[in-house]
Amino acid sequence: MHSRFLAPLLIMVILASVAVWGCSSMERTEKFYETYPAAAGIRVDVANASGGDVDITAWSIDYVEVSAVKKTIWGASELDKVDIRVSTESDHILIETVLAGKNVRASVDYEIKMPSNAVAGAIETTNGRVVLQSVSGNPVVTSSNGDIAARGLVGRITATTSNGRIELDTVSGGGMLTTTNGAIVVKKSGAAITAVTTNGGIRVEDSKGDAMLSSSNGGITVNRVDGYISARTSNGAIEITEVAGIVIAETSNNSIEAEVAGIGPGGTSLKTANGSIEVSVSPALNADVEMKTTSGQISIISAPSSLQIETFTPTHFQGVLGSGGPEFYVEATNGSIDFYKLEAGPPSES
């Protein structure tokens, strides 16, 4: 008899538990919207201590528009612990998220529009992405766990994130880019790039200026860059084509494919511990050449007519390109080296 009533009772308890759980996990939101006059040249800073996305876009209107959404799944009382404050001065506007107490379980997403003649300053968030679109300035962007992207930026960017991808597209002033776990992609940079990632690949293309690139676990690809390239990775392939020159390309456990159109006074070094190297050199190059391999073979597939051979064995080559000059050094500890004449010249500077 008791069992006849026990089953419906259990069902009711389960349904009640599900209902309570569903209510507690339902997202609560609260919107914020304000506009602020902005003189030409004013700096816009954002400090989003709560975490959340920050999207900033330039427009032709002479005021800053701030549209934000507070969010939480922990009840409306958590929203009361988050305050959005905007401080305006003659030379800058600060948009910040202020938290009441510790362990606040709410975040804020911002969509900000700023005048095209204003400048982006310090932009910071935790656990969210930052996107800059067509803005000016030299922004310093920080995100603990989120992607960073800048498109159409007039200026130089410093971007740092712990776990996220960094992407630049059409940035006039280049940048300093650092991420712990994520890829870095740069297209159409107008100036030098420094890019460092621990776990991710790096790609730079259609850009101007030198590039210093470092990855612990990821491939590096550089194409159509009119500067000199330094590329180091521990576990990834390196491919460098159509660049002005190479300072160093080095990997521990993969291959290198490189075109060397120019050589600086400090020389060029290509090295891999476990992989092959395929190198193509400009016939106009003047350099002292040395190539070594321990467990592999050196092959001269096609050579510039200016190449003078001094020593040539299957594992060691010494010679002179043109009138000689800076050192051109190639080493593959466990892999082959293939040497070619480069048919095309360095990329155009137009």
* Interval 248-307: pLDDT, tens: 999 998 999 999 999 999 999 999 999 999 999 999 999 999 999 998 999 999 989 999
Q: How confident is the model at residue 103 (pLDDT cuts 50, 70, 90)?
A: confident
Number of H helices, E strands in the chain: 2, 29
Which residues fall within 8 angstroms of residue 303, CB to CB, at 6 or more apart? 339, 341
Give me the mean pLDDT over the 150-159 stretch. 98
Mode of pairing for the β-strands spanning 157-161 and 137-143: parallel
pLDDT at position 9 is 42
User: The dihedral of CA 257, 260, 264, 268: what is its sign?
Assistant: positive
pLDDT at position 102 is 85
Give me the mean pLDDT over the 101-109 stretch. 91
Q: How many CB atoms lie within 10 A of CB 16?
A: 10
Looking at residue 233, what DSSP letter applies?
E
Q: Is the pLDDT of residue 8 over 60?
A: no
Q: What is the pTM for the complete model shown?
A: 0.89
What are the structure tokens assigned to 160, written together?
């740092």
Q: Is the pLDDT of residue 12 over 70?
A: no
pLDDT at position 343 is 82
